[in-house]
Structure 1
Amino acid sequence: MASRILVPMDDSNHAEQALEYALDNFPNADVSVLHVVGVPSPMMGEATALSLADNLDEAAAELADPAFERAREIANQRDREIDTIVGIGHPARSIIDRAENYDTIVLGAHGADWSRATRQFLVGNVAETVSKRAPVPVIIVR
């Protein structure tokens, strides 16, 4: 049975469903929520903001906070605790780089609500990339 679960989370409904799935189906596991900031966007806003920040870690934590607040709400509804991790850069790479520290990755089928063409062009399909390259089992939640 999996004892350490990694749940990558952005601001999408699928990511919330993935966290709910992980908490409900792995009741005895330690769950870590990863939010990756500085991802490429059409206007490079978040990445540019991070590059201009005086303290990169503080700026990244501030950008991740809304996702973590929602994750904590979901965990509190189930009387569970979660750990939170801030990643910087490309989401798939950040997830895969941490994967060996976990037994399973649970992630949403689709990320933030960009157009499909924009998402594919800029960051690729994160779920597809992670499922192909992760060294641990991956559960994709729809």
Structure 2
Amino acid sequence: MTARILVPMDGSELSVKALEFAVEAYPDAEITVLTVVGVPSWFMGEAAGISLSEDVSQAARNHAQSVFDRAREVAADHTTPVETAVAVGNPSRAIVERAEGFDVVVIGGHGRDLSSRLLIGNVAELVVRRSPVPVTVVR
């Protein structure tokens, strides 16, 4: 029996599809939506503002709020409650570390935009290769 599902979400449509799949396929499971806020890198992006904040964890939670709002909308459409969690760091590494306490990870097939897929690598692929639990990739 699958009791605990981890659904990483980044705000992309595929991550929303992953959550929709999870709530439909596992209606009685406990679902946790994880958003990972990246660390600063040579191309910085949103992580720069977060890393310069006085309270990094609060800034990460604020950044994740829109993703969580969307996740709650999807869950409400299926009358399924979801838990939320925020991690700061490398997305694939944070997802794999968090996966340990779950029965399965349900993840969207790729990230938000082409540049992130080319420069950062495919997070879903890395999660599939490194996860300690089964991974379902939604496309």
Structure 2 counterpart of 1:126: 123
Q: Which residue, 128, 134, 137 being the options, matches 1:137? A: 134
One-letter amino acid of the structure 2 residue matched with residue 51 of structure 1 = S
Structure 2 counterpart of 1:102: 102
Equivalent residues of 1:19, 1:71 under 8 A apart: yes
Secondary structure in 1 matching 2:28: coil
Structure 1 counterpart of 2:35: 35
RMSD (CA atoms): 1.4
Structure 2 counterpart of 1:21: 21
Q: Deviations over 1:85-135 (max 9, x none)?
A: 0011111001001111000000001111233xx4232x2111110001101
Structure 1 counterpart of 2:70: 70
In 1: Cα distance, 2:106 partner to 2:56 partner? 27
In 2: Cα distance, 1:6 partner to 1:99 partner? 7
Secondary structure in 2 matching 1:65: helix
* TM-score of the pair, normalised by structure 2: 0.94
* TM-score of the pair, normalised by structure 1: 0.92
One-letter amino acid of the structure 1 residue matched with residue 133 of structure 2 = V
Structure 2 counterpart of 1:45: 45
One-letter amino acid of the structure 2 residue matched with residue 76 of structure 1 = A
Amino-acid identity (%)? 49
| Count of aligned residue pairs for this structure pair | 139
Equivalent residues of 2:39, 2:51 under 8 A apart: no
Structure 2 counterpart of 1:92: 92
Q: Which runs of 5+ in 2 are unaligned?
A: none
Equivalent residues of 2:99, 2:105 under 8 A apart: yes
4+ aligned runs moved over 4 Å, structure 1: 39-42
In 2: Cα distance, 1:120 partner to 1:97 partner? 23
Secondary structure in 2 matching 1:45: coil
In 1: Cα distance, 2:105 partner to 2:93 partner? 13
